[in-house]
């Protein structure tokens, strides 16, 4: 049986230790994990696509089965190009469920061979989000322990 390639898509603006937690969990389940940073987010990102890709690449350096890539357009089309069949998403709380449910069903409608797999991050990260990290940092709070070191450095440079 062919081993499935898993894609963990997101805007990662910036990546947090919660994202990293999900990536590590995915490496325990799948032989190859692609972290795919999207450029078509309507979120008006703080960091450029290449900055976000670089931050994740630094954070996952010690995991040889993880690669980091960027994509635009539909996720399912990107996955077809990469011969990937599993979408990894994190579920932090019930509040994530509805949004994730909608996306998973839409992706299934677009390509019925693609499955979504939901992983729960460590409970220490259930309240974490990229926007909260940026807000706390911009108001002078410490984000140490919430983001990888490379991200903390980038936040300091951008601030």
Nearest to 23 by CA among 80, 12, 129: 12
19 binds ligand COA (CB under 6 A): yes
**What are the strands of the beta sheet with 115-119, ordered from one edge?**
66-71, 32-38, 5-10, 86-90, 115-119
Number of residues that bind ligand COA (CB under 6 A): 25
**Are the CB atoms for 3 and 84 separated by under 8 Å?**
no
128 touching ligand COA, by CB under 6 A: yes
Q: Coil, strand, or helix at residue 121?
A: coil
Should residue 16 be labelled a site residue for ligand COA when binding is judged by CB under 6 A?
yes
Q: Is 76 exposed, middle or buried (0-12, 13-18, 19+ CB in 10 A)?
A: buried
**Residue 85 is a binding residue for ligand COA (CB under 6 A):** no
Instruction: Specify which residues 69 forms β-bridges with.
Output: 36
* Least distance in angstroms from the C-beta of 112 to ligand COA: 14
Check residue 130 for interaction with ligand COA (CB under 6 A): yes
Enumerate residues 48-77 that contact ligand COA by CB under 6 A: 74-75
* Candidate residues 29, 48, 61, 106; the one interacting with ligand COA per rule CB under 6 A: 106
Residues that bind ligand COA (CB under 6 A): 9-13, 16, 18-19, 22, 38, 40-41, 74-75, 90, 92, 103, 106-107, 121, 125, 128-131
Active site residues: 19, 43, 92, 130
């Amino acid at each position: 049986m062919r081993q499935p390639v898993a894609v963990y898509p997101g805007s990662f603006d910036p990546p947090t230790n919660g994202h990293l937690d999900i990536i590590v969990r995915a490496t325990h389940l799948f032989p190859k994990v692609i972290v795919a940073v999207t450029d078509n987010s309507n979120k008006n990102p703080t960091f450029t696509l290449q900055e976000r890709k670089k931050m994740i690449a630094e954070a996952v350096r010690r995991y040889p089965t993880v690669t980091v890539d960027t994509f635009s357009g539909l996720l399912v089309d990107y996955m077809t190009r990469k011969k990937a069949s599993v979408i990894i998403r994190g579920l932090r709380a019930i509040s994530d469920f509805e949004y994730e449910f909608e996306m998973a069903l839409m992706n299934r409608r677009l390509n019925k061979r693609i499955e979504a797999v939901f992983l729960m991050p460590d409970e220490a990260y259930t309240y974490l989000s990229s926007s909260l990290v940026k807000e706390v940092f911009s108001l002078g709070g410490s984000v140490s322990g919430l983001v990888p070191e490379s991200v903390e450095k980038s936040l300091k440079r951008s601030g």
